[in-house]
Amino acid sequence: MVHMLQTSEGIRKAGLPDWLQLTGLIHDMGKIMYAIGGVKEDGQQGTGDGPQWALGGDTWVVGAKIPDTCVFPEYNNLNPDMSNPLYNSEYGIYSPNCGLDNLKFAYGHDEYLYQMLVANKTTLPKPALSIIRYHSCYPWHTGGSYRHFMIEEDYTTLKWVLLFNQFDLYTKSEEGLDGKTVEELWPYYQSLIDKYIPNEHNLMW
């Protein structure tokens, strides 16, 4: 909660739009997966009672060659896709300049939250949803990979993601919330939740 509020408060102090502030607050909420389901209940791994293979960490495009810009690239060849000619080429199952939205990414907390927001009919603008969906794809936004898939719109998305990451990565502090409490800050953020996630169940946040 503190990291979420540090991120959103950093965005707020910078005078950036309220939708970006809310994005900062909720961007890692997909990690709630750790508390949902389990192997015995629904076969889902990556939860609090099983291996965390799908929860956090960098994401990458599946169905195409895994780039060396991924973390620990020395392990790329352990992925069986890398010995499959259908998946181990530069374009793989995709076509040039098909656009990021037409790629499939390794599953994790980003995709979980993105799909949940869409399913709950959020009114957050597309840049917010793109930030949530792609902020862990470091091979793309930091490593320079996957440019051959991008369309013009994706370059605008890239600018938003890089702006957001300044607040995600560099607002973490042991000093907490500048003397404020979660209870003091929450009414403002609840108003943003009410505005952009108009759902009778949004108190789950």
- Interatomic CA distance for residues 45 and 183, integer angstroms: 34
- Interatomic CA distance for residues 154 and 106, integer angstroms: 19
| Residue 108 pLDDT level (bands cut at 50, 70, 90) | confident
183: in domain: no
53: in domain: yes
117: in domain: yes
123: in domain: yes
> The pTM is what?
0.86
43: in domain: yes
| Residue 126 pLDDT level (bands cut at 50, 70, 90) | very high
pLDDT at 203 (0 to 100): 47
202: in domain: no
| Residue 134 pLDDT level (bands cut at 50, 70, 90) | very high
> pLDDT tens for residues 70-106?
989 999 999 999 999 999 999 999 999 999 999 999 8
- Nearest to 106, CA basis, from 145, 136, 62, 47: 62
**To the nearest 5 percent, what fractions of the chain are helix, strand and coil?**
55, 0, 45
- Interatomic CA distance for residues 56 and 52, integer angstroms: 8
Number of domains in the chain: 1
205: in domain: no
Q: Which domain holds residue 67?
A: 26-175
201: in domain: no
